[in-house]
């Protein structure tokens, strides 16, 4: 059984390290891979907004850099809003690296962890 609270706590910790001087919208993420390894990351902005990186893609990039290509779950947290779901680009990236059994996307509202299947958030994701 996956401890979703642990993943969310790690996402919360990661959100504190976000670099968001322009939007002030900090986000942290925590990925659990099929090999049961955990990776964290946060968003970081750039004065040229298009060069900013979302927490979800930063975190998945860390997993990929360590040879991990299948994720079982990703927790996403922002102190700026409840139920912080991933943007469209991040949904597509999560879909690309989902595990064969599917991937759970975790958010939080009123202190309760919500779980969504990536297929619910991105029906008909693009594949080659």
Positive or negative, the Cα torsion across 67, 16, 56, 89? Answer: negative
User: How many Cβ atoms are within 10 Å of 1's Cβ, its own excluded?
Assistant: 3
Tokens of 55: 């927490």
Q: Which of 45, 56, 68, 108 is catalytic?
A: 56
State yes or no: is 120 an active-site residue: no
Catalytic residues: 56
């Amino acid at each position: 059984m996956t401890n979703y609270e642990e993943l969310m706590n790690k996402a919360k910790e990661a959100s504190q390290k976000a670099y968001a001087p322009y939007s002030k919208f900090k986000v942290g993420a925590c990925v659990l891979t099929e090999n049961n390894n955990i990776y964290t990351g946060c968003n970081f902005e750039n004065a040229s907004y298009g060069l900013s990186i979302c927490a979800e893609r930063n975190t998945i990039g860390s997993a990929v850099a360590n040879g991990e290509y299948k994720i079982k779950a990703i927790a996403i947290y922002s102190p700026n809003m409840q139920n912080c779901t991933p943007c469209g680009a991040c949904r597509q990236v999560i879909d690309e690296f989902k595990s064969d059994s599917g991937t759970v996307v975790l958010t939080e509202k009123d202190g309760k962890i919500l779980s969504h299947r990536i297929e619910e958030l991105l029906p008909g994701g693009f594949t080659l």
